[in-house]
């Protein structure tokens, strides 16, 4: 055929495809998961549009929202067809090659660092994984707004697009023709495909059919051969595949019953569509009927992650607003979670209304700092036949969001409490009813990955600030190598101690050795060491905890304890004694840079120190602001 208009792939896409097609990565299976996931996304899109305009579905076969997979063993071509939204010519050009997604370079970087190919879906470039198994791919697509087009490429830096004049009309949707490479011939067998499709389609909410070949026994009639053959032909034309099969079985039974000596039969191969998933939504099932393994499999299907979730919660909310939900906390933070935190769309939770997928990017469903949470929310209360914009205005969404946040914070709190309990039991040497090692270690893993999200939450979510503060972990002058909590700090406070002392800096060593904390440490006060750039921002929002004020050790107004009369008198004398020195000092230093010079007893061995005014930014904060970390 005329190869059509030629396009060059965007440079990074070319690099990506080059790596994929030459990859020795052994787990090539993932291509099927990615293609099925794309088909399912496309079906979700057309189903969503059909809510407000039924005509988009078309008539007859086109309205069947399904996925079909078949194989041509002779030519070693694998076909995947969906009746999703399809792609216009423009979509094909943009989505499959000329525009690099933000994940493209990030994924390339990961691969260079030896990252796992399995991550590809998370970076939004899953389609290209088809080149793990193919050396030539054709994408035939029909969108309601355009003619049918073919995209094709051998991953050589360019692709071709032409109007399709050779394939059957698709009606609507996309057909991917995968020409299997020599070393990927294993995907050219029915058994392998069946195993894979079953594995990856279990939680796809559309029926997935695989064309399979069945062996059926057909009686050999004693009539003249020719006539029998004619009749067979007739039947095949008029009947559906399934009926035929039943007919054949019936015949067989009759034969057995009626005659003692079985009639001669012959074996025939017949192609049939076999449904491979039961596509019943997992969240509609009772939690007690769903196994841990199923939850983890479903997690992988909704999250594009390939490692198990850290923890999850399946629940049903009742009352004015009803919904079902399964929420997951991943084991690892998404690669770009803290990067450009404020600019990115929030992918995470999938919103369904009465089993119909609506969106996976609704900030009305979960706050930004928790957008690492994956899973689904399916509500019967929300209206189905409205636009996304109208849906976003729904008051019920606010209630759902509130409940989802509560549930997520509950999941996190439980892990945190288990950790504290384990620590306590270890200290006391208790073993009875001790949580498992895995349970004991869960929160530490969570904190490592999502501690910063909790801190961002303290800044952003005033309603839950106190709940979030309980989840904070940090090092202190008394915590040794371990992390500690605010409650534990308070439990160790000295008699008469009113404030929670902290100091922020770039490392524990720097902060611990700082003159700012000398006196505090000498007097036995515990000081929190904040070493993350976010910490001081957080403290700017979290002014107190459990009625104790936070006190920054680098600020001017640091008061250790109430002084008695003797101490006050001594202070006064010292002030007098050094009056000339402080005056002189103020004169030699530029006035505009110095607010004042004071005699103080906050130091132990260091002779003098520059502190920040009560309302000014601390030196650490200035350093951060200069670096423009956030």
* CA-only gyration radius of the chain, Å: 33
Residue 384 CB: number of other CB atoms within 10 A? 15
Q: Is 188 in the site for ligand ADP (CB under 6 A)?
A: no
Q: By CB neighbour count within 10 A (0-12 exposed, 13-18 middle, 19+ buried), where does 529 fall? A: buried
Q: Is 104 in the site for Mg ion (CB under 5 A)?
A: no
Give least dist CB 351 to ligand ADP, A. 18
Q: Is 71 in the site for ligand ADP (CB under 6 A)?
A: no
Order the strands of the 309-317 sheet from edge to edge.
Answer: 309-317, 323-330, 374-379, 349-353, 356-359
- Of 9, 16, 38, 422, the one binding ligand ADP by CB under 6 A: 38
Give least dist CB 107 to Mg ion, A. 13
- 488 has which bridge partners? none
Interface region with ligand ADP, contact rule CB under 6 A, candidates 49-57, 123-131, 488-496, 601-609: 123-131
Q: Does the annotation list 34 as a binding residue?
A: yes
Report d(CA 406, CA 466) in Å as an integer: 13
- Of 50, 95, 102, 582, the one binding ligand ADP by CB under 6 A: 95
Q: Does the annotation list 357 as a binding residue?
A: no
Q: Does the annotation list 101 as a binding residue?
A: yes
Token pair in block for residue 485: 């909590």
Interface region with Mg ion, contact rule CB under 5 A, candidates 125-133, 256-264, 292-300, 354-362: 125-133
CA angle 486, 491, 494 (to 5 degrees): 110
Q: Of 138, 133, 129, 118, nearest to 183 (Cα)?
A: 133
Q: Is 126 in the site for Mg ion (CB under 5 A)?
A: yes
95 binds, among Mg ion, ligand ADP, none (CB under 5 to 8 A by kind): ligand ADP
Phi/psi-derived region of residue 375, left when phi > 0, alpha when psi is between -120 and 50, beta in every other case = left
DSSP per-residue codes, 162-206: EE--SSPP-SSEEEEEEEE-GGGGGGGSHHHHHHHHHHHHTT-SS
Q: Is 140 in the site for ligand ADP (CB under 6 A)?
A: no
- What's the DSSP call for residue 3? -
Q: Is 126 in the site for ligand ADP (CB under 6 A)?
A: yes
Interface region with ligand ADP, contact rule CB under 6 A, candidates 22-30, 39-47, 192-200, 454-462: 39-47
Q: Does the annotation list 388 as a binding residue?
A: yes
125 binds, among Mg ion, ligand ADP, none (CB under 5 to 8 A by kind): ligand ADP
- Of 29, 66, 82, 526, the one binding ligand ADP by CB under 6 A: 82
Order the strands of the 265-275 sheet from edge to edge.
Answer: 5-8, 158-163, 148-153, 134-142, 173-180, 77-82, 67-72, 208-219, 265-275
Q: Does the annotation list 33 as a binding residue?
A: no
Instruction: Give 575-624 as a 3 state SS string.
Output: HHHCHHHHHHHHHHCCHHHCCCCCCCCCCCCCCCCCCECCCCCCHHHHHH
Q: By CB neighbour count within 10 A (0-12 exposed, 13-18 middle, 19+ buried), where does 143 fall? A: buried
Report d(CA 82, CA 208) in Å as an integer: 9
Q: Of 336, 343, 417, nearest to 372 (Cα)?
A: 336
Q: Is 42 in the site for ligand ADP (CB under 6 A)?
A: yes
Q: Is 301 in the site for ligand ADP (CB under 6 A)?
A: no
Strands in 225-322 per DSSP E: 265-275, 309-317
Give least dist CB 120 to Mg ion, A. 9
The whole-angstrom distance between residue 446's C-alpha and the CA centroid of its chain comes to 14
Q: Is 161 in the site for ligand ADP (CB under 6 A)?
A: no
82 binds, among Mg ion, ligand ADP, none (CB under 5 to 8 A by kind): ligand ADP
620 binds, among Mg ion, ligand ADP, none (CB under 5 to 8 A by kind): none
Q: If residue 212 lies in a helix (H) or strand (E), which one and from where to where?
A: strand 208-219
Give least dist CB 481 to ligand ADP, A. 41
Q: Is 117 in the site for ligand ADP (CB under 6 A)?
A: no
Q: Is 303 in the site for Mg ion (CB under 5 A)?
A: no
Q: Of 134, 253, 250, 138, nearest to 188 (Cα)?
A: 134
Give least dist CB 42 to ligand ADP, A. 3
* Residue 185 CB partners (closer than 8 Å, separation 6+): 76
297, 301, 306, 311: CA torsion to nearest 10: -60
Kindly tell me which of 93 and 458 has the beta carbon lying closer to ligand ADP.
93
Q: Is 127 in the site for ligand ADP (CB under 6 A)?
A: yes
Q: Is 418 in the site for ligand ADP (CB under 6 A)?
A: no
Kindly tell me which of 85 and 539 has the beta carbon lying closer to ligand ADP.
85
Give least dist CB 203 to ligand ADP, A. 16
Q: Does the annotation list 348 as a binding residue?
A: no
30 binds, among ligand ADP, Mg ion, none (CB under 5 to 8 A by kind): none
- Of 111, 125, 204, 382, the one binding ligand ADP by CB under 6 A: 125
Q: Of 179, 195, 339, nearest to 276 (Cα)?
A: 195
Cβ contact 139:152 at 8 Å: yes
Kindly tell me which of 123 and 352 has the beta carbon lying closer to ligand ADP.
123
Give least dist CB 537 to Mg ion, A. 36
Binding mask 16-55 for Mg ion (x = CB under 5 A): ----------------------x-----------------
Q: Which residues are annotated as a binding site?
A: 34, 38, 82, 87, 95, 101-103, 122-127, 174, 388
Interface contacts to ligand ADP, rule CB under 6 A: 34, 38-39, 41-42, 82, 84-87, 95-96, 124-127, 174
Interface contacts to Mg ion, rule CB under 5 A: 38, 126
Q: Which residues are annotated as a binding site for ATP?
A: 34, 38, 82, 87, 95, 101-103, 122-127, 174, 388
């Amino acid at each position: 055929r005329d190869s059509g208009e030629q396009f060059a792939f965007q440079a990074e896409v070319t690099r990506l495809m080059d790596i994929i097609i030459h990859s020795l990565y052994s787990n090539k299976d993932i291509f099927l998961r990615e293609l099925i996931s794309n088909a399912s996304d496309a079906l979700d899109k057309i189903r969503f549009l059909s809510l407000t305009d039924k005509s988009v579905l078309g008539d007859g076969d086109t309205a069947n929202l399904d996925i079909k997979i078949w194989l041509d063993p002779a030519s070693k071509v694998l076909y995947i067809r969906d009746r999703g939204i399809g792609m216009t010519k423009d979509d094909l050009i943009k989505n499959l090659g000329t525009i690099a997604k933000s994940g493209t370079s990030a994924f390339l970087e990961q691969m260079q660092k030896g990252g796992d190919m399995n991550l590809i879906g998370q970076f939004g470039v899953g389609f290209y994984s088809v080149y793990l198994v193919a050396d030539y791919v054709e994408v035939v697509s029909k969108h309601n707004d355009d003619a049918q087009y073919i995209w094709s490429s051998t991953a050589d830096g360019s692709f071709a697009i032409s109007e399709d004049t050779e394939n059957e009309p698709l009606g609507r949707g996309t057909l991917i023709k995968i020409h299997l490479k020599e070393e990927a011939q294993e995907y050219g067998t029915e058994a392998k495909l069946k195993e894979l499709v079953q594995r990856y389609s279990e939680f796809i909410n559309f029926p997935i059919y695989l064309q399979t070949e069945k062996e059926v026994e057909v009686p050999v009639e004693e009539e003249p051969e020719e006539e029998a053959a004619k009749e067979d032909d007739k039947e095949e034309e008029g009947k559906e595949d399934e009926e035929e099969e039943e007919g054949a079985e019936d015949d067989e039974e009759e034969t057995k019953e009626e005659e003692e000596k079985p009639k001669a039969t012959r074996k025939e191969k017949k192609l049939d569509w076999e449904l491979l998933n039961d596509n019943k939504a997992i969240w509609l099932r009772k939690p007690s009927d769903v196994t841990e393994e199923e939850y983890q499999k479903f997690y992988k299907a909704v999250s594009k992650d390939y490692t198990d979730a850290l923890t999850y919660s399946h629940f049903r909310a009742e009352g004015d607003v009803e919904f079902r939900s399964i929420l997951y906390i991943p084991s690892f933070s998404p690669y770009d979670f803290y990067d450009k935190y404020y600019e990115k769309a929030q992918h995470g939770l999938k919103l369904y209304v009465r089993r119909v997928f609506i969106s996976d990017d609704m900030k009305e469903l979960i706050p930004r700092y928790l957008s690492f949470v994956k899973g689904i929310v399916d509500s019967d209360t929300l209206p189905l036949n409205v636009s996304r914009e109208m849906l976003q205005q729904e008051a019920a969404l606010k209630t759902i969001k509130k409940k989802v946040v509560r549930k997520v914070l509950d999941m996190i709190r439980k892990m945190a409490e288990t950790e504290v309990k384990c620590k306590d039991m270890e200290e006391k040497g208790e073993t009875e009813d001790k949580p498992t090692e895995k349970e004991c270690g869960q929160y530490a893993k969570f904190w490592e990955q999502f501690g910063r999200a909790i801190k961002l939450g303290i800044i952003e979510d005033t309603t839950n600030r106190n709940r979030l503060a309980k989840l904070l972990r940090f090092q202190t002058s008394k915590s040794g190598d371990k992390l500690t909590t605010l409650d534990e700090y308070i439990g160790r406070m000295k008699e008469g101690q009113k404030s929670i002392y902290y100091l922020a800096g770039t490392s524990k060593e720097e902060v611990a050795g700082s003159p700012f904390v000398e006196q505090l440490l000498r007097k036995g006060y515990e000081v929190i060491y904040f070493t993350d750039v976010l910490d001081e921002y957080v403290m700017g929002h979290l002014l107190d905890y459990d009625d104790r004020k936070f006190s920054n050790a680098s600020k001017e107004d640091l008061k250790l304890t109430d002084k008695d009369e003797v101490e006050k008198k001594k202070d006064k004398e010292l002030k007098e004694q050094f009056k000339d020195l402080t005056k002189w000092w103020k004169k030699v230093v530029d006035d505009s840079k110095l607010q004042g010079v004071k005699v103080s007893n906050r130091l132990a061995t260091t002779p003098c120190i520059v502190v920040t005014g009560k309302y000014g930014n601390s030196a650490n904060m200035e350093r951060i602001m200069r670096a423009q970390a956030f």
